Amino acid sequence: MAISKRKRAMYTRYAVYAISIAALVAMVLFVDWGKLSNAMFRWNIVKEQFPDIFTKAAKNTVIFTILGFAGGLSLGLIFALMRLSTIRPYRWLAATYIEIFRGIPLVVTLLILGFGIPIATGWQWPNAYMQGAVPLALVASAYMAETIRAGIEAVPKGQMEAARSLGMSYPRAMGTIVIPQALRIIVPPLTNEFVLLIKDTSLISVLGVTDATKDLARFGRDGVNSTANATPLMVAGLVYLAMTLPLTQLVAWMERRAKAAGK
């Protein structure tokens, strides 16, 4: 059949639009919305979630995220610097740490550190926040170390040389010249890391939590158990989105701006 490439592209485009609209219409017409909202979005249950979902659950999610991020960032910086060291044992140690914590699922690390270590040593975690946040921070630091290292390596070598030629020691040159420039480069990926952490805190509840240290996901799950309805999980999902969407938009904006500045 003799049909030109541009015509074919045009017809394909029309077809995709037509199929999308048809699918949307079918969904509106054939899904039993009453049944669905009855099972997943009942207003009276939605209302019951407040204010505890903010004052307890979301608060705990934020606390776990911030502890995990702060710990991960400081440890990650140390491991990044070790990875870049000229001293080989430092490099080996950091590389081993990073591979181990990136290679094991967070749930397994949480269980090993949260339960395994206390059982093996008799030592107890001082509180439930530490029990959840420390394993989270250790795993986060492994990912962040690689992000930070990439950022430091993206700063031209001449910057370090210029700083050293002015008599700055290596740590001083790193601290005043290289790391401030690296930070600008890694703010977008670190923000992504923060979003991942918000979501990863939902795994902490495998450690078993008290009413006071419940995070958003656990709060939603417990709500499902007590109401025999999926609404609490839907609400929890929306609260997660309220936290993560602004951040992912921020990253997109920062990346657009960086791209524009690079031109």
Q: How far is the CB of 152 from other proteins (least distance, A)?
A: 14
Q: Name the residue nearer to other proteins (CB basis): 105 or 180.
A: 180
Q: Provide the 8-state DSSP code for 206.
A: G
- Comparing CB distances to other proteins, the nearer of 8 and 172 is 172
Least distance from C-beta 262 to other proteins, angstroms?
11
Question: What b/e sequence results for 42-65 when a residue is b if at least 16 CB atoms lie within 10 Å of its CB, and e otherwise?
Answer: beebeebbeeebeebbbebbebbb
Pick 87 or 119: Cβ nearer other proteins: 87
- In angstroms, how far is CA 126 from the centroid of its own chain? 25
In our burial notation (b when 16+ CB lie closer than 10 A, e otherwise), range 195-230 reads bebbebbbbbbbbebeeebbbbbbbbbbbbeeeebb
List of residues contacting other proteins (CB under 8 A): 156, 158-159, 161-169, 172, 176-177, 180-181, 184
Compare residues 51 and 158 and give the one whose CB is closer to other proteins: 158
Q: Shortest gap between Cβ of 87 and other proteins (angstroms)?
A: 15
**Nearer residue to other proteins within complex by CB, 186 or 197:** 186
CB 193 to other proteins: min, Å: 22
Of residues 99 and 161, the one with the C-beta less far from other proteins = 161
Residues 158, 101: Cα–Cα separation, whole Å: 33
Taking alpha carbons only, the member of 110, 106, 62 closest to residue 240 is 62
The least distance separating other proteins from the CB of residue 155, rounded to whole angstroms, comes to 10
Closer CB to other proteins, 96 or 176, in the complex: 176
DSSP per-residue letters across 73-140: HHHHHHHHHHHT-SSHHHHHHHHHHHHHHHHS-HHHHHHIIIIIHHHHH----SSHHHHHHHHHHHHH
Please choose, from the candidates 139, 145, 135, 134, the residue with its C-alpha nearest in 3D space to the C-alpha of residue 77.
145
Residue 94 beta carbon to other proteins: minimum distance, rounded to whole angstroms: 24
CB of 167 to other proteins, least distance (A): 4
Residue pair 96/31 in contact (Cβ under 8 Å)? The answer is no
Single-letter amino acid, residue 209: V
